[in-house]
Structure formats: C-alpha cells, structure tokens
Amino acid sequence: TVAAALEQFTINFTITNLPYTSDLENPDSAKFRATQRVMNTLLDRLLKESSIGPTFQGCETTDFRYGPGSHRDQTRVDAVCTYSKEPSAAPLDRVGLYHQVSNKTRGITQLGPYSLDKDSL
C-alpha cells in the first residue's frame, strides 16, 4: 500500500486591527514569535473543524507583511498549512474549504481577536 503523502497549501489574509511594525519583520523578535503562536493556534482551531480536519496536520505562519499598498495599519499574514492526503483521495477542494473558512470567520471578518479584510483571503 502507498502511504499518505503530506501536502501543503498556503493561506493569506489581511488583519485590519493589527498595525504592522518592524518587529513583525524579524522572525527572531518576541513580537513575531508571540503573534505567530497566536496565529498558528487560531488557524489550527479553524481548520481542525473543517472538512480536512481528520487529515489536517497544522499551520505555520511564515511571514507578516504590511497591508495592501503600504498600509502599515494593517498586517498581511502568510501561512503554510499541511494535511495528509491518501493517494486515492480527491484533490483538496479549495473552493469548499474557502466557504467553510468564510462561514467560521463571520464572512471572513473575524479570526479570534482579529478583524479581517473580507476580500483578502
């Protein structure tokens, strides 16, 4: 039998109530690490409750950037999420997953304490 393969997908969105600071540029800073930990936890919780929940392995926030254009009052989040995919399983249903994430974030407006730009996911 062929073992399940670990597959990855990226998720990006903009937080409108987290001002971007230079600390978020530095992966070694306390602010980066603390924000990364919170973000990973929120994303893990969100995706564990989705259709990929049983195969979901976790998300790792990789980058924080300032919002669209040069809006430093917003922070763009990049994360890589991993799930295990059986060889016989259908490809990841990105559209379905998008709708589930939308439903669980009040129409892509809220993730935990963070407000999201609804058009940014």
Tens of pLDDT, residues 42-79: 999 999 999 999 999 999 999 999 877 777 899 999 99
* Percent of the chain with pLDDT strictly greater than 70: 98
Inter-axis angle of helices 30-48 and 94-104, to 10 degrees? 110
- Tens-digit pLDDT profile for residues 34-50: 999 999 999 999 999 99
CA-based torsion, 48, 119, 61, 113: positive or negative: negative
> 10 Å Cβ neighbour count for 94?
9
- When mean pLDDT is compared across 2-6, 21-25, 35-39, the lowest value belongs to 2-6
Cα–Cα distance, 66 to 85 (Å, whole number): 33
Regarding pTM above 0.85, the answer is yes
**In CATH, which of 3.90.1010.10, 3.40.50.2300, 3.40.50.10260, 3.30.70.960 is domain 5-115?**
3.30.70.960
Chain centre distance of CA 61:
7
Q: What would the 3-class secondary structure string for 65-119 be?
A: EECCCCCCCCEEEEEEEEEEECCCCCCCCHHHHHHHHHHHCCCCCEECCEEECCC
